[in-house]
């Protein structure tokens, strides 16, 4: 799992130091991290439009042009999972961090051990919420958290992934995608359908009804497995409450 980290800072020396620290943390943690520096909020916005699979952004608040708070608000509207770590010379912006659910804020000069603690926290959160990194038919890279996937539907040459009211279409086989999914959270209902059990509302002999009314067909051969998975998932959910 490649973690993409952005450093958005208009001070080259500061950005370079942060890059060095993140690279050292990655080496110590044994995690594959891709790091890229952006000299302005506008530069990251442009990159964000092309690729939305960023894991974390170290974001300077005070920059020429658009400031970090404005960028953070824009990013949070688009992605509730992106980890935002503010870098600032002044402690006056703490409340702004709450508004965008920032991971933390670090005062300049940034202390390496403090940054490492924040990165440890960020990766622990991300590991708990596994996701798929997908390249859509249009060539856009997207990150889809598995817990948000309601169902997956296969067509002749593409697969559609339905999540949070959106649809991502990718070129791959449904079996290859199924191998990446978490066991116990999904069930194969039909040769062309995989359902997210967290969205299942009612099980019938020939279909699985989701919360939003979508009917997922169930093949006769797969019904016993769907039934077992459905019962097992909700028994486990009740025990965890």
Span 46-90, pLDDT tens digits = 999 888 889 999 999 989 999 999 999 999 988 888 999 999 887
Give residue-wise pLDDT tens across range 176-204: 899 888 878 899 999 999 999 999 999 99
Q: Is pLDDT above 80 for 239? A: no
Q: Is pLDDT above 90 for 218? A: yes
Note if the pTM is more than 0.75: no
Tell me if 150 sits within 8 A of 199, measured CB to CB.
Answer: yes
Q: Output 196 or 122, whichever has higher pLDDT.
A: 196
Among 4-8, 43-47, 228-232, the range scoring the smallest mean pLDDT is: 228-232
Enter the tokens of residue 119: 């990165």
Among 31-35, 47-51, 68-72, 122-126, the range scoring the smallest mean pLDDT is: 122-126
Q: Is pLDDT above 80 for 223? A: yes
Q: What percentage of the chain exceeds 70 in pLDDT?
A: 92
User: Residue 55: which of 31, 28, 87 has the closest Cα?
Assistant: 31
Q: What is the mean pLDDT of residues 7-24?
A: 96
User: Residue 59: which of 16, 22, 21, 106 has the closest Cα?
Assistant: 106
Q: Is pLDDT above 90 for 136? A: no
Q: How many angstroms separate the CA atoms of 123 and 137, rounded?
A: 29
Alpha helices in the chain (DSSP H): 12-29, 41-50, 68-78, 94-99, 112-128, 174-178, 223-240
User: Residue 85: which of 164, 8, 28, 146 has the closest Cα?
Assistant: 8
């Amino acid at each position: 799992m490649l973690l993409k980290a952005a450093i958005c800072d208009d001070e080259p020396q500061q950005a370079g130091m942060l890059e060095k620290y993140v690279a050292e943390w990655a080496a110590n943690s044994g995690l594959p991290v891709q790091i890229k520096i952006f000299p302005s909020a506008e530069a990251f916005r442009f990159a964000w439009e092309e690729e939305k699979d960023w894991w974390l952004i170290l974001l300077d608040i005070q920059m020429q042009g658009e400031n970090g708070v404005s960028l953070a608000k824009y990013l949070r509207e688009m992605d509730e999972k992106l980890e935002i770590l503010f870098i600032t010379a002044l402690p006056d912006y703490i409340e702004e961090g709450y508004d965008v659910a920032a991971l933390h804020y670090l005062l300049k000069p940034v202390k390496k051990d403090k940054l490492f603690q924040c990165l440890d926290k960020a990766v622990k959160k991300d590991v708990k919420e596994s996701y798929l990194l997908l390249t859509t038919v249009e060539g856009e890279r997207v990150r889809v958290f598995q817990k948000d996937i309601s169902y997956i539907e296969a067509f002749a040459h593409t697969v559609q992934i339905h999540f949070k009211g959106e649809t991502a279409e990718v070129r791959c086989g449904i079996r290859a995608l199924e191998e990446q999914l978490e066991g116990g959270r999904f069930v194969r209902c039909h040769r062309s359908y995989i359902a997210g059990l967290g969205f299942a509302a009612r099980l019938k002999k020939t279909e699985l009804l989701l919360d939003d009314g979508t009917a997922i067909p169930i093949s006769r051969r797969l019904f016993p497995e769907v039934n077992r998975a459905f019962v097992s998932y909700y028994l486990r959910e009740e025990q965890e409450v």
